[in-house]
Amino acid sequence: MAGHQEPLLVRRLANYAHRLSFKDLPIEVIHEVKRRILDSLGCAYGALHSTPGRIVRRLGGAIPIRKGATLWGTPYRTTPEMAAFVNGSLVRYLDFNDTYLSKEPAHPSDNIPACLAIGEVTHAGGKDVILAIVIAYELQCRLCDAAALRPLGWDHVTYGAFSTALATSKLLKLSPETTAHALSLAGVTAGALRQTRVGEVSSWKACAFANAARNGVFATLAAQQGMTGPLDVFEGEKGFMRVISGQFSLPRLGGEQGAPFKILDTYIKPHPVEYHAQSAVEAAFQIRRMMRDSEGHFDVASIATIEAISFDVAIEIIGRDPQKWHPKTRETADHSLPYCVAVALSDGGVSPQSFSPKRLADKQLHDLVQKVRVIEEPEFTARYPEAMSTRLRVVTVKGREYVAQVDYAPGHPRRPLSDQGIELKFHRQADRKIGKHSANRLIARVWELEKMKDVGSLIGAMPVVTKYKVAC
């Protein structure tokens, strides 16, 4: 008798999404989705006038669709896959949206713009959009648990094509068979090179997942029209596991036999830096407070040396390349452990303005960056990703030593940001663009999302930033 054979992974995932319903979601999971949406919208408003933001909106505006999906901050609509790309690039630009850390790190809120785009054009209810976002988080984070892509030269966004395809298939109410084909079509085009985040980092960093989401949405729309894909995309002779990820098995997904939902394990960022630098930034703030004199003054010139003692993944991603000590772009700087430590010590805070061209060119700050030495601590490496420990040791020119260690930065599940903290973060990014009154109105709409019959009510509450024009 032939042994039991596991179903193809795309079929398992399609059946999972088909079965899961809003009533399966615990209250805390629903609330976390709304927190992530609010956080993502704030990040997007903060990036509206960035150079990549202008570029992607020009691309999206060149494809006008009267009943399409909205380009956030504008009155224009485009195809849902292009809206996912444009709005997703805005969410990601400041490196301020949420994070998940495992064998492979990720920013699962990158899925939200794709879900909102399809939700808008299908007039999906708020409950449907919340459920789709939970599904996207579930698949992306479980894939990150299953296999690391980074050591093999692939970028984490490669998993995003699968997660957006599964989530948007749910919104489009596709059958399990059609959903399996959507996943297959997304998978055969998914490979994204890790070079995006190595060395001098370019503006494409903001767009890499957004492009994966665009492909995931496109694959879903193609499957809806009857396009088929290779259903053994994961297991096949030239499939994903053979070529990209290596062999893996996916554990139970949220809601299966009591398995918890992964969105509860994701982290909201308090600072606009790569997540592995969050604990280092917090340690820098502590040391700055220790070094103040009796009148509260801090003398950055008194610093002789800085040791950033961290774990292997942090060093690999943000503390190894020579460019991290001489960043020329904001993308390199917010992915530089030496720069993030130096600017936090120097300024006593980190904001999007910490990575402006003027700040990057500051000679005093550049000289401080050169004083940073990055060292691996095996104990910290062994604790990752359960903890993201960083110890800073600062020695002054007079020989005084200051040490601070942070294991869990604010925003970590062990130190979650409050709802009020997330609202404050939103206001800091959005108020200058849309005004405090409009910001409060949008916040209120997010908190009542599950009550909406049509998610277009949320999109309609997003004010137009009238200074911007799209050339159509």
**What whole-number distance in Å separates Cα of residue 149 and Cα of residue 427?**
35
**Number of other CB atoms surrounding residue 249 within 10 Å:** 8
Domains of the chain by residue range: 9-270+445-460, 275-406
pTM for the whole thing? Answer: 0.95
pLDDT at res. 2: 47
DSSP, residue by residue, 366-416: HHHHTTEEEEE-HHHHHHTTT---EEEEEEETT--EEEEEESS-TTSTTSP
Q: Which of 12, 19, 69, 33 is nearest to 183 (CA)?
A: 12
**What whole-number distance in Å separates Cα of residue 373 and Cα of residue 303?**
13
What is 9-270+445-460's CATH number? 1.10.4100.10
pLDDT at res. 465: 87
What SS3 class is residue 92? helix
What SS3 class is residue 84? helix
**What whole-number distance in Å separates Cα of residue 68 and Cα of residue 104?**
34
pLDDT at res. 467: 54
pLDDT at res. 468: 52
Q: Which of 61, 53, 55, 133 is nearest to 94 (CA)?
A: 53
* Dihedral class, residue 142 (left if φ above 0, else alpha if ψ from -120 to 50, else beta): alpha
Instruction: List beta partners, residue 306.
Output: 372, 394
Cβ 323 vs Cβ 366: under 8 Å? no
Locate 372 and state its tokens: 């940073």
pLDDT at res. 294: 86
Arch. (CATH architecture) of 275-406: 2-Layer Sandwich (3.30)
**What whole-number distance in Å separates Cα of residue 78 and Cα of residue 71?**
7
**What whole-number distance in Å separates Cα of residue 174 and Cα of residue 10?**
14
Cβ 9 vs Cβ 250: under 8 Å? yes
Cβ 74 vs Cβ 90: under 8 Å? no
* Dihedral class, residue 8 (left if φ above 0, else alpha if ψ from -120 to 50, else beta): beta
pLDDT tens for the 472 residues of the chain, in order = 444 567 999 999 999 999 999 999 999 999 999 999 999 999 999 999 999 999 999 999 999 999 999 999 999 999 999 999 999 999 999 999 999 999 999 999 999 999 999 999 999 999 999 999 999 999 999 999 999 999 999 999 999 999 999 999 999 999 999 999 999 999 999 999 999 999 999 999 999 999 999 999 999 999 999 999 999 999 999 999 999 999 999 989 999 999 999 999 999 999 999 999 999 999 999 999 999 988 889 999 999 999 999 999 999 999 999 999 999 999 999 999 999 999 999 999 999 999 999 999 999 999 999 999 999 999 999 999 999 999 999 999 999 999 999 999 999 999 999 999 999 999 999 999 999 999 999 999 999 999 999 999 999 999 998 555 554 4
pLDDT at res. 4: 55
